[in-house]
Structure 1
Amino acid sequence: MYNELLQIQSELQKRLSIPYKWNQRQNDYFDEKTNFIYRIKTFENLLAEVDKHFKSDENFQMYFDYALNRWFNFWSAYAVEKIFCSLPNVKPAFNNRDRLKDFSVNGITFDHKTTVFPRRFKGTLEQAKQNPARLIKWLYENQSKQKRKHYHNRLFIVLFNNQGDHWKLKAEIIWLKELIENYVSQFESNKLFSLQLNKDFKTFSDIIWAIK
């Protein structure tokens, strides 16, 4: 697995020289148009596929940015999930198409999401670290839309780079591996944050801080 993670890291790092822009809000329509990102592992093949699909489209730049961002986020998340599921007290979800569950830790199911520290959050990094539940609630309410939105258990990996460009930390797979292994080794279910985001059930969540 380690060699696969190194390979993914190498490919993701090829994306870092191109500005990370969302010229189009993420939605189901553009997702469907760019679903080829799931089967493409190398950055060179991704560029070729984008060119093949959208070269003659007047909105080429919009599709280009959208596809590159989705590819980058998907393969980083894929690697993170592989890391979690390689650990002794973590089990992968029975159905790998279940958008509500990626794995369970000590029997508690979680979806996971790696996200940059949000600029629109009203508070500093230090304030968020002192009151993680407030940031967790904000992330549930403000980030995922349409098919992605849900209030079930989720583990957040929150990225913050003191040099800026927080998104680039998604390519630091081996570094993230160390953080995840450390978190899971100290995992205690009674330390999870419990939130009433839905009237029908409680949500259990936590943050793994990834700060450089």
Structure 2
Amino acid sequence: MKNFDYWKKLHDSNKLEEFSSDKAGLLWLKIKSIVRKELIAAFANEANLKLAQSALSKQFEELYKILSKDVSKSYQLLDGFIRKINKTQASKINTAQLVSELYKLKSFDWGGDYQNSLDKYLVSRYVKTHQSYEVLLSKFDTEISRAVQGYVLNSWYNHWSSILIEHIFKSHPAVLPTVGQIKSVDFFINDIPFDLKVTYLPAEFIKEKRKQKGFPVELTFLKQQALKSRIAFDKKAKPSDIQYEIVEKMKDRGDASCSKALSQLRQENLQILQEAQSNTKTLAKWLYENQGEMRFGSENRLFLVLVDTEDFNNSWKLKRNLDLLKPTIQNYLNNFDNKKIEDLKVTFSYKGKPQTFTALADIIFIVK
């Protein structure tokens, strides 16, 4: 029997496929969205419901039992309540000011690799607390070691730019937000739960496709071109630093040979991008199969892939480019009704796991 415990077990086990096709499962997720003490109390008051339970987990179960008696009516009640709460939450975001703050970050360099304990401390104490760029910077003088400045600034940028992007989605009529955090669900589009993932065209994906197409390895090609053009570089540096140095020196040289080499690399990578845009399932499957082991998930995902075609390394800047983000996202949502569920299905496997996974996934490309 598909009761409360049935859906809870599926959710806790990260087996989310069935939620997308079952109205009772979707109801469970929507209620989960408001399982916060103040939200449940407000909803119960608005729906004229008296809950006998006082513990939050028990209220969740009690509310599900009540609302599952008439799922369609409960959808209307929940959707209306959630939209009202989201409107209140959204009104607290000063979009223009937030965008202005994000534009103050001039470079995107992590500056090191840190353990989870440091991650959690810095994120909770600084990244998610301070919306102001200046206030955040002031903390470096007295509280934060300069060694982790890059990490904090990048995390701050990623957090608040994600808030900005989610706000675009959640403001659209086809989208029902999650006003409280739900594991693996950021919002519903036409009652399909999705987890939003903002990313770039992965370097490893490009590397694999270049190999399949017989294109040269980028760094090897650049070293060869540097040798031909008598461009010196630090051979002991990290590969990423070597590539940056050669590319910048070739740009500065600006002669026909250097320009031709850089143009060749760019055109080859643009070909890979165009093919990914034409066949989104290939990239979606790759993203599922190459996700980090610690953050593995098989939930429905909507990938927002950002690409600056002039310089792929500058794609991070597109996270704050509302002039590009907003119309592209809105156009996608305006036309979501035309999509077929079957076309969104992605089947994938994952190293170390014996089963095959199926999820609903799609990709929105933000290309400059």
* TM range, smaller chain: 0.7 to 0.9
Alignment match, 1:119: 203
Q: Specify the alignment match of 1:168 in structure 2.
A: 317
Contact 1:6 1:173 in 2 (8 A): no
How many Å separate the matches in 2 of 1:26 and 1:104? Answer: 33
- Separation in 2, partners of 1:143, 1:26: 19
Conserved? CA contact 1:14–1:43, under 8 Å: yes
Q: Distance in 2 between matches of 1:109 and 1:87?
A: 15
Q: Which one of 162, 171, 177 corresponds to residue 77 of structure 1?
A: 162
Deviation (angstroms), 1:50: 3.9
* Code of the aligned partner of 1:173: L
Distance across 2 between alignment mates of 1:143 and 1:161: 22
Name the structure, 1 or 2, with higher relative contact order (CA <8 Å, separation 6+): 1
- Asked whether 1:132 is paired with 2:283, we answer no
Question: 1:200, CA displacement in angstroms?
Answer: 7.3
Residues 90-109 of structure 1 mapped to structure 2, 5 A cutoff: 90-96=175-181, 98-109=182-193
Instruction: Tell me, yes or no, if the aligned pair for 1:13 and 1:171 is still in contact at 8 Å.
Output: yes
1:7 equivalent to 2:91? Answer no
Structure 1 unaligned spans of 5+:
none
2:317 corresponds to 1:190 = no
User: How far has the Cα of 1:31 moved from its partner?
Assistant: 2.0
Aligned residue identity for 1:89: A
Relative to its length, the structure with more strand (as a share) is 1
Tell me whether 1:45 sits opposite 2:135 in the alignment: yes
Deviation per CA, 1:32-63: give whole Å up to 9, x if none.
121221121111112123443323xxxx33x1
Identity percentage of aligned residues: 33
Task: State the distance in 2 between where 1:13 and 1:145 align.
Answer: 33
**What does the per-residue CA deviation read over 1:129-178, in whole Å, with 9 as the maximum and x for residues that have no partner?**
122112112222334452x4312011111111122111111111342111
Q: 1:108 to 1:14 in 2, by over 3 A?
A: same
Q: Provide closer, same or farther for how the CA distance between residues 85 and 144 of structure 1 changes in structure 2, counting only shifts above 3 A.
A: farther
Higher share in helix: 2
2:363 maps to: 207
Query: Larger C-alpha radius of gyration, 1 or 2?
Result: 2
Query: TM-score when scaled to structure 1?
Result: 0.85
CA contact (8 A) 2:177 2:186 kept: yes
Pick one of 106, 109, 131 that aligns with 1:21: 109
How far 1:94 sits from its partner (Å)? 4.8
Q: Is the 8 A contact 1:50 1:67 kept in 2?
A: no
Q: SS where residue 197 of structure 2 aligns?
A: strand
Amino acid at match of 1:158: V
How many Å apart are 1:27 and its aligned residue? Answer: 5.4
Structure 2: give runs of 5+ residues left out of the alignment: 1-89, 210-271, 350-354
1:65 paired with 2:146, answer no
Q: CA deviation at 1:118?
A: 1.3
CA distance in 2, matches of 1:142, 1:207: 16
Cα separation, 2, equivalents of 1:79 and 1:54: 26
In structure 2, the partner of 1:88 is 173
CA-CA distance at 1:201 after TM superposition: 5.4
Residues 200 and 185 (structure 1), Cα distance of their counterparts in 2 relative to 1, 3 Å cut? same
Question: Cα gap change, 1:185/1:26 in structure 2, threshold over 3 Å: closer, same or farther?
Answer: farther
Q: What is the CA distance between 1:120 and its match in structure 2? A: 1.4
Task: Give the counterpart letter for 1:72 in structure 2.
Answer: Y
Distance in structure 1 (CA, Å) of the matches to 2:202 and 2:189: 26
1: CA distance, partners of 2:136 / 2:286: 33
Give the direction of change, closer, same or farther, for the CA distance of 1:152–1:51 in structure 2 (3 Å limit): farther
Residues 94 and 11 of structure 1, relative CA distance in 2, 3 Å threshold: closer
Matches of 2:299 and 2:115 in 1, distance apart?
20
TM-score (norm 2): 0.51
Is the 1:27–1:145 Cα contact (8 Å) retained in structure 2?
no
CA contact 1:154–1:205 (8 Å) conserved in 2: yes
